[in-house]
Amino acid sequence: MAAAEETVIRVRDLVVGFGKVDVLKGLNLDIKRGEIMGFVGASGGGKSVLTRTIIGLLPKRKGTIEVFGKNLDELDEEERQQMERRWGVLFQQGALFSSLNVRQNIQFPLRENLHLSQRLMDEVASAKLEMVGLSADVGDKLPSELSGGMTKRAALARSLALDPEIVFLDEPTSGLDPISAGEFDDLIQALQQTLGLTVFMVTHDLDSLHTVCDRVAALADGKVIAVGTIESMIESKHPWLRAYFHGKRARSRINGGTRK
Amino acid sequence: MGAEPLYLKSEVEGRKLVLAAEGDWTSAFASQIEPQILEALKKRPRVDRVDIDVSKVRRLDTIGAWLVERLRRTWEGGGAKTAIVGLDPRYQVLLDEVAASNKERAKKSPREQPLSDALESIGHAAADSLVDLQALVRFLGVVTMVAARVAVRPWNFRFTSIVHHLDRVGFRAVPIIMLIQFLIGAILAQQGIFHFSKFGAETYVVDMLGILVLRELGVLLVSVMLAGRSGSAYTAELGSMRMREEMDALRVMGFDPVEVLVLPRLIALVIALPLLTFIGSMAALLGGGIVIWLYGNMPPEIFLERLRDAISIDTFKVGLIKAPFMAAVIGLIACVEGFRVEGSAESLGEHTTASVVKAIFLVIVLDGLFAMFFAGIDM
């Protein structure tokens, strides 16, 4: 890709809170172009809050967020829209529009942003569906007729509709069986290589962290306490990281050896 | 060349055609690229070989890659040998991925025929109304059965739930019902005085007000209001519970959703509607009375005297007897529609609308039937 170590997301001193409580207390984070960044932290610790703050769904109290080198606060309406077209978001529950079928869901951002012929949109929707491992027939189904795994794939296809440079994935493998979760990991990796994506992935899935993430960032007490490869995380002495990566559930994973 | 940059150049070299793509082949420019491709495909020289040269393409994304692939396939389908040359290696994976898609030809959607489609939808609507009626009757049966079961084991009766719903649909509706009925009563009286005075019959306004409000308007207006206010809420609640699998959760825990959710709501409505009708009618009489006093110059004592002559206990009973039946119709329709909500948000909206529209319609039909019935028994 372009400059090897280009930072696409730079978060500095971010403070986000609700009422009297600050959830994120001066958080710093850098994400480089083309990497898959896994983000771990306790439930309710502010992982989703960070994602939602970066994509602009939650207001922040302090700090700066730069995406592609631009401060998000300094963008005007139009630049903001341009920016939003450069990232895609996969929500935890998929957030597919329930009254549109899957094809219309994928075509929605295309229809709104570009002036493409219906034929091209249909072809692109089928191509996207096949890229995320669904058959083109799924396009005619309504979101309520999909299984959990299919919903996530369809939602991923929608988030990739405009060929974003960054995708935010909020617990992409939660609620999937281990086989589907593994396939989903492979899919994200394949797409990352195909499309040169930068992936920001909030996850609790230790397998995902081991197999697909280039780097892992750990969130505790409203701050990023460590960033690095999964191996460096496992060796860290920090008590929270030790508890996370050496707990009962994690130990079997480590003892079993990494997959690759 | 126009203002738009040229994305595709074609050049024939003997039996070979070279299509040179250049520029940004990305989604943002796809709307300009596609017509150029279609243009280029209009004049197809007879060639054996087609090279698509993408060496001058600066950027490529999924849509661009698909357009390249589609161009290639069109020529391939025409019998020519095709090749993509000069591809930047970093786009190879993307192009391979895209080349694997859209292998099956998309199914053609059946052609639309406006007239027969319109007839078909009318037919469907007619058939659906029968299905609706059937569903309503079946649901009435289910509710009756559950009610009978609860009557045998009254300790299963969800008293708290009924009180809760009674508060929501009854008590909290009192202010708005009173306000609206008060205004309706006042308007009726004013219009009555205004028009009756043309032939000197102002005093009969009291008769009109009393009979109209107590027999018809009181119960009808309250029913319409509750269909809009509470029927829609019932449908939306039950519908979203169905969407979020809450009903299935009840069922697997051994509870009957009809018993837990429907019966308390229905009973609350059946209790609330007659009470609201009474309160509303009184408010209407009050509103009418005040207008008759101030605008029609009839002192309250005389108004009450005339009212007593004009109406009997039967007039009052006719209105109140109808109320629980109206409530049952509203509640049943609201719950039936709630149970028919499917997965989508649109379906929820559709059934909530249907619930209100059908409830109001049936309330008026029922009122007509009652009018004939009461006329038949001289009441």
The pLDDT tens digits of the residues spanning B305-333 come to 999 999 999 888 999 999 999 999 999 99
Residue A254: inside a domain, yes or no?
Answer: no
Tell me the per-residue pLDDT of B191-245, one tens digit each, with 9 for 90 and over.
Answer: 999 999 998 888 899 999 999 999 999 999 999 999 999 999 999 999 999 888 8
CA dihedral B332, B334, B338, B339 (to 10 degrees): 10
Tell me the per-residue pLDDT of A132-170, one tens digit each, with 9 for 90 and over.
Answer: 878 888 888 888 888 878 888 888 888 888 888 888 888
Q: Which residues contact A32 (CB under 8 A, 6 or more apart)?
A: A5, A6, A7, A8, A198
Q: Where are the beta strands (DSSP E) in chain B?
A: 8-13, 16-25, 49-60, 81-85
- Does B102 sit within 8 Å of A136, measured CB to CB? yes
* In chain B, residues 219-278 whose CB comes closer than 8 Å to chain A: 243
Contact call for residues A197 and A32 (beta carbons, < 8 A): no
Q: Please give the domain boundaries of chain B with CATH numbers for all domains.
A: 8-99 (3.30.750.24), 126-376 (no CATH)
Is the pLDDT assigned to residue A253 strictly greater than 80?
no
Confidence band, pLDDT 50/70/90 cuts, at residue A27:
confident
* In chain A, residues 1-60 whose CB comes closer than 8 Å to chain B: 1
Residue A242: inside a domain, yes or no?
Answer: no
Q: Does B344 touch chain A (CB under 8 A)?
A: yes
Percentage of chain B beyond pLDDT 90 is 50
Contact call for residues B370 and B223 (beta carbons, < 8 A): no
Q: What is the pTM of this model?
A: 0.69
pLDDT (average), residues B254-273: 91
Mean residue pLDDT across chain A: 80
Both tokens of residue B301? 């004592």
- Does B102 sit within 8 Å of A126, measured CB to CB? yes
Residue A244: inside a domain, yes or no?
Answer: no
Residue A234: inside a domain, yes or no?
Answer: no
Dihedral-angle region of residue B147 (phi above 0 means left; psi in -120 to 50 means alpha; beta otherwise): alpha
Confidence band, pLDDT 50/70/90 cuts, at residue B4:
low
Tell me the per-residue pLDDT of A176-220, one tens digit each, with 9 for 90 and over.
Answer: 778 878 878 887 887 787 777 888 888 887 777 888 888 888 888
Residue A253: inside a domain, yes or no?
Answer: no
> Into how many domains does chain A fold?
1
- Does B67 sit within 8 Å of A120, measured CB to CB? yes
Mode of pairing for the β-strands spanning A198-202 and B81-85? unpaired
Q: Higher pLDDT residue, A247 or B301? A: B301
* In chain A, residues 147-186 whose CB comes closer than 8 Å to chain B: 160, 162-163
Residue A138: inside a domain, yes or no?
Answer: yes
CA distances from A6 to A50, A194, A201, B366 (A): 21, 19, 19, 73
Residue A238: inside a domain, yes or no?
Answer: no
**Which CATH number covers residue A189?**
3.40.50.300
Q: Taken in order B241, B244, B250, B252, is the CA torsion positive or negative?
A: positive
Instruction: Identify all chain A residues contacting B61, using CB atoms and an 8 Å cutoff.
Output: 163, 195
Residue A239: inside a domain, yes or no?
Answer: no
Instruction: Identify all chain B residues contacting A187, using CB atoms and an 8 Å cutoff.
Output: none
Residue A39: which domain range?
A: 7-225
Closest CA to B193 of B180, B209, B181: B209
Both tokens of residue B371? 């009018």
Tell me the per-residue pLDDT of B109-146, one tens digit each, with 9 for 90 and over.
Answer: 566 678 888 999 999 999 988 998 898 999 999 999 99
Q: Does B4 touch chain A (CB under 8 A)?
A: no
